[in-house]
Amino acid sequence: MGDPVKDLGNVQRRATLFVKDMERSVDFYTRVIGYTIYHERESILPADSPFPVGTPNQERRGRFVIVKGDHDLMGMIGLLWYDDAMSDHHADRLGYGHAVIVLQTTDAPALEQRLIDYGADFAKPLSPGKNTGDLHGKQIESLSMFVRDPDGYLLEIFQPT
């Protein structure tokens, strides 16, 4: 048997989101969404870093937290914060430079209630629909909702029915 990490093939493991308030984002993704913390670290990004974030040629203190759902290695979300103020990139309408993060759940009504209790910003409440989700890329019946996380990233959350 091979190495399960190396043998995953071409898969999406993580999307990383820039966040304004790390504690608020970690609380949202762990307490409300139900993910767990996989990894976290503090870091210093040197002034000469090739990573294009924030003000150029300035050292930045940062924090990186990865949260994950039920799979050991796939479907993780990285939360990245730097002490250098960055401009907001979100608007009410989606366009270039925006992202939609799709999450699957086993209990959409319970998650919707946690999101309501949290005071989340719903773009679309939970309702019946279809989502691309079978092994062949076909549409499946589902319950789905669209909600924004604390930094305005749009989450499409669905439950196959």
Render each residue's pLDDT in the chain as its tens digit; 161 residues. Answer: 566 555 656 666 788 898 989 999 999 999 999 999 999 999 888 888 777 777 778 888 889 999 999 887 788 899 988 887 666 655 566 666 678 898 989 999 999 999 999 999 999 999 998 887 677 778 888 999 999 999 989 999 989 88
Q: Are strands 60-68 and 121-132 parallel, antiparallel or unpaired?
A: unpaired
Could you give the CA distance from residue 1 to residue 39 in angstroms, rounded to a whole number?
27
* Measured CA angle at 78 (ends 74, 84), to 5 deg: 165
What is the pTM assigned to this prediction?
Answer: 0.80
